[in-house]
Structure 1
Amino acid sequence: MLTTEQILDAAEDVLRRFGPRKTTVVDVARALGVSHGTVYRHFDTKAALHEAITTRWFERVTSPLATIAQKPSSPSERLREWFETLMAIKQHKADDDPELFASYLLLAKNTSQKIVLAHVEIMIQQVEQILSDGCADGSFEIDNCPATARSLFFATFRFHHPLHANEWGDAHLKEDFDHLFTLLERAIQKGIAYPAD
């Protein structure tokens, strides 16, 4: 019995080799050696198949981040680890499998904005959870955790948003991130003053 995961695995291979335009239900069925009717039982259109591929890609990003958000470590440690992991996931995808990464970008661009925005909201809510924990234990001093979570996420866009992938080879990227993130941390940590420099 053919599973949805097997279909998506095959679709990913087709996507890697031929790009989104050739990743249709018929093309995936051909790659699996089954009739297209078999695949149509799971995905009745090319758009539905593409949305499922994109959703699975997003879940591969948010799942390890959710684990970090719920760890028992200090909120300060979790916050930095969360953003460093998000950067690493995106940058590794771009470096390790550039063809698939480029195809994913096209899929995400053409998929429903509702799915893309939901993915972003899941990540922001994870950051909000860490910030709320920090306020509860006295690590952070924040008036509005939801708004601050959004600000932190968008302030770090250069380091994790695929639109900036061409900048990720910059030799100063890690140094730039560390400097920016230290400034952001100081802005929310309780009792931490800004340095005179």
Structure 2
Amino acid sequence: MNQPSVISPGARGPVDHDIRDQIVAAANEHFSQYGYGKTTVSDLAKAIGFSKAYIYKFFDSKQAIGEAICANCLSTIVAAVEKAINEEGLSATERFRRLVKTVVATGVDLFFNDRKLYDIAAFSASEHWPSSQVYNAQIKSFVLQIVREGRELGEFERKTPLDETVDAIHLALRPFVNPLLLQYNLDFVEQAPTLTSNLILRSLMP
């Protein structure tokens, strides 16, 4: 399934440029020590050993650098979900269970075992960065894919409008998809995938 990709709107120059990658790597390390919110482009320039003007040749703002880091992080979750749900021979019900389980497990592993990624992902979600919006759209498209398949196979009910069903499921998953909300649900990550999946799947029964 082809998914939309995230390209930071503030990125400049060749995407695969070695210097760009060096700036992103150094920024990632700097954010981990001082936090995204407290770091300025001037701080990064001093830490990396480049001039501020030189960094602006590749990124037009600190957010653009954060976007590059965040997009890489969120794409890891998307790739894990896509792999989990697209295995051959699965029912739509099992695909949905895998979607929820993988979103929660991968998100917790990325964001809370590596706090620098959480810090940036939280900014992305709170400020509605393109990386966050694309991530949400990708998860929603997976839900649509599974619900549509389940209806075609007779596993799920077909009376409720498809868009209404997908919107409702996506909202129900928001506490585990959105990094800002996930931090408040860490005590429930062991049982949440099963309980949430069971509730939603019961509502989808024909």
| Large movers: runs of 4+ above 6 Å | none
User: How do residues 101-180 of structure 1 correspond to structure 2 at under 5 angstroms?
Assistant: 101-110=118-127, 112=129, 114-142=130-158, 143-162=160-179, 163-170=181-188, 173-180=189-196
1:83 matches 2:100: yes
Q: Deviations over 1:21-70 (max 9, x none)?
A: 34444433443334444432210222322333333332222222233343
1:84 Cα shift?
0.5
- Structure 1: gaps of 5 or more residues: 191-197
CA contact (8 A) 1:7 1:39 kept: yes
| AA in 1 matched with 2:118 | F
Query: CA 1:131 to 1:6, structure 2 compared with 1: closer, same or farther past 3 Å?
Result: farther
Distance 2:204 2:124 in 1: 36
CA RMSD of aligned residues (A): 2.6
2:110 aligned residue (76, 93, 103): 93
**Does the 8 A contact of 1:68 with 1:78 survive in 2?**
yes
Q: Secondary structure at the match of 1:105?
A: helix
CA shift, 1:115, in A, is 4.4
Amino acid in structure 2 at the alignment position of 1:148: T
1:67 paired residue number: 83
- Asked if 1:46 corresponds to 2:66, the answer is no
Higher relative contact order structure (alpha carbons within 8 Å, sequence separation ≥ 6): 2
Judging by fraction of residues, say which structure has more helix. 1
Q: Is the 8 A contact 1:125 1:146 kept in 2?
A: no
Distance in structure 1 (CA, Å) of the matches to 2:43 and 2:153: 53
**Alpha-carbon contact 2:74-2:135 (below 8 Å) kept:** yes
CA distance in 2, matches of 1:160, 1:100: 15
Give aligned pairs, total. 187
Tell me the TM-score normalised to structure 2 length.
0.75
| Aligned sequence identity (%) | 24
Distance of 2:176 and 2:65 partners within structure 1 = 29
Unaligned stretches of 5+ in structure 2?
Answer: 1-16
Counterpart Cα distance in 2 of 1:99 and 1:50: 11
Tell me the residue number matched to 1:187: 203
Amino acid at match of 2:161: N
